[in-house]
């Protein structure tokens, strides 16, 4: 009973309608029964006026809503003396608004689960070894933080304890605890295990992974469902048909009550309620699967999408290439050259870059026991490479075309096998050699593309900054027939704009992908590694480092819109059935009003089906993806 009163208190117009009904009921059994029509009629017309004001506001904003039918039905019921029926319609409208809010609140509980766990304070270790509990906003990079057993890690940091065990399920969906060792990164939002650990903060709280995800969740949770606009497009024909049926019923029967009886069951709550409930349910389902959809408009675009473009490194591939070979071409420079010396110069230059390939080069040098040198000067050319001065030598590291510009002549392409890529090195304006790396295609990239194709995506494109040969190797393995290599960020934007089969989805992960993610109809960021710029410019953020979540988000979007349309169709169909019955005089107004409530409940329950569904992507290996072999690079 307490829950009912809490519900009514939260929704005052529902409470007011219930109180008016109780008051009128008391009057009806007493000496003041003749006042009941005035009470019910006045209240009903006041509520109709409230809806009229809202309708005018919508018309001024350029949107034709579905309130006209409800206003007409209330007014007609009062005009013919069906006061109780008018009150039921008012209850339907106010209750419908409340049910929409309540159902949406229930549907988005998975979407907002992260927010409830967001840490507000942290235990900072002071210089004297003491521990102070401070608001997480006071933490700065370099602070040492104590995380006690079973606490949520408050900021991103580097583990300083020997080992630590963490539950990453809230971020990655991985159900098993992950064991990390000293020096490894710990992301905020994960839950510490049974022992206390210490870490050094690497980011402020507002820049940490968990707070960024929480902000995305909050943005998604407050998104307004644009499907209401789609429902409004149904409103015009539905309103005309309803008025036509009601008018004909009045014309042939000669009874104005028949007009009111038809319009009572024609009230359009299924159009008002079903679509936004379905969208919130779909966004909740997407979030549970590891994909935060920022706006419900994105789900509708997923429903219509025909093309998808992928970045390669870190998206279709694991994005963690390893150094497999060092090939020198320069006989000597300075005191002579060796593979280790060439790698030392290249890695020393690359240590100033945040690019994934640069990290692989420096990691390869350290794995070989090679110490790095601090550059005297260093500059990064976006999507091309790095220019540094090391031990008095000009060192250029990057793409073949970038190095050719430095040496002033074409370079012989180093031999590669499928899956390999090369970084070229020039020292003192001479081609010094190449570093060969290999980045494996994700095991489930193929099955992801297969699911996307099965669900209506027709055209697949790969855009990458890598050389054409490297790009074609990966594309051939996955059967992608549209490839554009050697792309700068601007080239990717131009390529996406040039895709004719729209809407187009773009999937990327790096900072350099931020412009193209913003330019695409739907930008999807592989945000599990904290690519802030990409995540902020994207419409969807994948929380797990799992390409299959892209297919999950697309399929959920398509299924959600289908469910929303079905809910609208079911509501309209049932209303038409009851209108037909009422037109022949077989459905009294008060009964029709309650039958319309049944229609509303059916539409809402149908819309909530969008929150359920089977797992989208089966555990298939890339080899299961069969598609025509890669062709030469087309015009995109």
312-322, pLDDT tens digit by residue?
878 898 877 88
Which stretches within 530-607 are classed as H helix? 532-537, 548-583, 589-607
Tokens 């989805």 -> residue: 505
**Low-confidence residues of the chain: pLDDT under 50:** 107, 173, 175, 224-228, 332-336, 618-636
Q: Is 411 helix (H, G, I), strand (E, B) or coil?
A: coil
Q: In the structure encoding, which two tokens stand for residue 77, read together? A: 């019921």
Question: How many residues are listed for the chain in this entry?
Answer: 636
114 vs 10, 111, 128, 202, 318, CA distance in Å?
24, 7, 34, 21, 26
Q: In the structure encoding, which two tokens stand for residue 202, read together? A: 């690497």
Neighbouring residues of 92: CB distance < 8 A, sequence distance ≥ 6: 267, 269, 593, 596, 597, 600
Residue 631 near residue 480, CB atoms below 8 Å: no
What is the C-alpha separation between 460 and 636, in angstroms, rounded? 11
Q: Which helix (H) or strand (E) holds 156?
A: none
Phi, psi at 625, each rounded to 5° = -85, 115
DSSP letter, residue 129: S
Q: In the structure encoding, which two tokens stand for residue 558, read together? A: 């398509």
Neighbouring residues of 268: CB distance < 8 A, sequence distance ≥ 6: 66, 69, 70, 235, 238, 239, 575
Query: What pLDDT sits at residue 483?
Result: 93
What is the C-alpha separation between 535 and 456, in angstroms, rounded? 26
Upstream peptide bond of 503 is cis (omega within 30 degrees of 0): yes
User: What is the residue-wise DSSP string for 554-569?
Assistant: HHHHHHHHHHHHHHHH
What is the C-alpha separation between 447 and 625, in angstroms, rounded? 6
User: What is the residue-wise DSSP string for 331-344?
Assistant: S-STT---HHHHHH
pTM of the model: 0.66
Query: What pLDDT sits at residue 110?
Result: 54
For 310-364, write each residue's pLDDT tens digit. 998 788 988 778 898 999 886 544 444 688 999 999 999 998 886 778 888 999 9
Query: What pLDDT sits at residue 634?
Result: 34
Cα angle: 629, vertex 322, 623; to 5 degrees: 30
């Amino acid at each position: 009973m307490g829950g009912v009163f809490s519900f009514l208190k939260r929704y005052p117009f529902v409470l007011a309608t219930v109180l008016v009904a109780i008051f009128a009921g008391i009057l009806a059994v007493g000496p003041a029964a003749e006042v009941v029509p005035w009470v019910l009629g006045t209240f009903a017309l006041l509520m109709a006026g409230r809806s009229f004001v809202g309708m005018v506001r919508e018309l001024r904003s350029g949107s034709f809503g579905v309130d006209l039918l409800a206003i007409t039905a209330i007014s007609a019921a009062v005009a013919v003396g069906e006061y109780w029926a008018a009150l039921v319609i008012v209850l339907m409208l106010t209750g419908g608004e409340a049910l929409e809010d309540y159902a949406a609140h229930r549907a988005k509980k998975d979407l907002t689960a992260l927010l409830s766990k967001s840490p507000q304070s942290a235990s900072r270790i002071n210089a004297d070894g003491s521990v102070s509990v401070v608001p997480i906003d006071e933490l700065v990079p370099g602070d040492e933080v104590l995380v006690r057993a079973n606490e949520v890690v408050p900021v991103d940091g580097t583990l300083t304890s020997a080992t630590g065990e963490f539950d990453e399920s809230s971020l990655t969906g991985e159900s098993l605890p992950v064991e990390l060792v000293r020096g490894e990164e710990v992301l905020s939002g994960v839950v510490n295990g049974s022992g206390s650990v210490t870490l050094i903060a690497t980011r402020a709280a507002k820049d940490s992974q968990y707070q960024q995800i929480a902000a995305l969740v909050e943005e998604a949770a407050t998104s307004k469902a644009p499907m209401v606009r789609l429902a409004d497009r149904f409103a015009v024909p539905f309103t005309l048909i309803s008025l036509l049926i009601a008018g004909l019923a009045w014309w042939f029967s000669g009874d104005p009550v028949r007009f009111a009886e038809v319009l009572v069951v024609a009230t359009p709550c299924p159009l008002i309620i079903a679509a936004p409930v379905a969208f919130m349910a779909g966004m909740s389902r997407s979030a549970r699967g590891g994909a935060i959809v920022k706006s419900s408009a994105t789900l509708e675009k997923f429903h219509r999408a025909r093309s998808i473009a992928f970045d390669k490194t870190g998206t279709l591939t694991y994005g963690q290439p390893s150094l497999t070979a060092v090939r020198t071409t320069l006989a000597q420079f300075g005191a002579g050259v060796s593979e280790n010396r060439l790698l030392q110069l290249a890695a020393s230059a690359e240590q100033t870059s945040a690019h994934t390939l640069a990290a692989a080069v420096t990691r390869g040098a350290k794995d070989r026991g090679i110490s790095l040198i601090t550059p005297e000067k260093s500059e990064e050319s976006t999507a091309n490479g790095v220019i540094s001065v090391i031990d008095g030598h000009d060192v250029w590291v990057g793409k073949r075309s970038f190095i050719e510009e430095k040496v002033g002549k074409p370079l012989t392409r180093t031999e590669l096998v499928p899956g390999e890529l090369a970084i070229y090195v020039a020292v003192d304006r001479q081609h010094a050699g190449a570093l060969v790396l290999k980045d494996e295609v994700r095991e489930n990239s193929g099955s992801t593309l297969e699911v996307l194709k099965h669900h209506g995506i027709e055209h697949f494109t790969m855009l990458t900054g890598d050389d054409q040969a490297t790009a074609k190797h990966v594309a051939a393995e996955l059967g992608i027939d549209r490839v554009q290599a050697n792309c700068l960020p601007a080239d990717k934007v131009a390529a996406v704009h040039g895709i004719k089969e729209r809407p187009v989805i773009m999937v990327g992960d790096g900072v350099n992908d931020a412009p193209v993610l913003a330019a695409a109809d739907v930008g999807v960021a592989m945000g599990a590694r904290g690519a802030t710029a990409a995540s902020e410019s994207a419409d969807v953020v994948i929380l797990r480092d799992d390409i299959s979540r892209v297919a999950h988000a697309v399929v959920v979007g398509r299924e959600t819109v289908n469910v929303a349309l079905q809910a609208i169709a079911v509501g309209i169909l049932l209303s038409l059935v009851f209108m037909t019955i009422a037109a022949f005089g077989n459905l009294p107004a008060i009964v029709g009003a309650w039958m319309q409530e049944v229609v509303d409940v059916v539409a809402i329950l149908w819309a909530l089906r969008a929150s359920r569904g089977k797992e989208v992507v089966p555990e298939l290996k890339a080899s299961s993806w069969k598609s025509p072999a890669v062709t030469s690079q087309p015009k995109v």
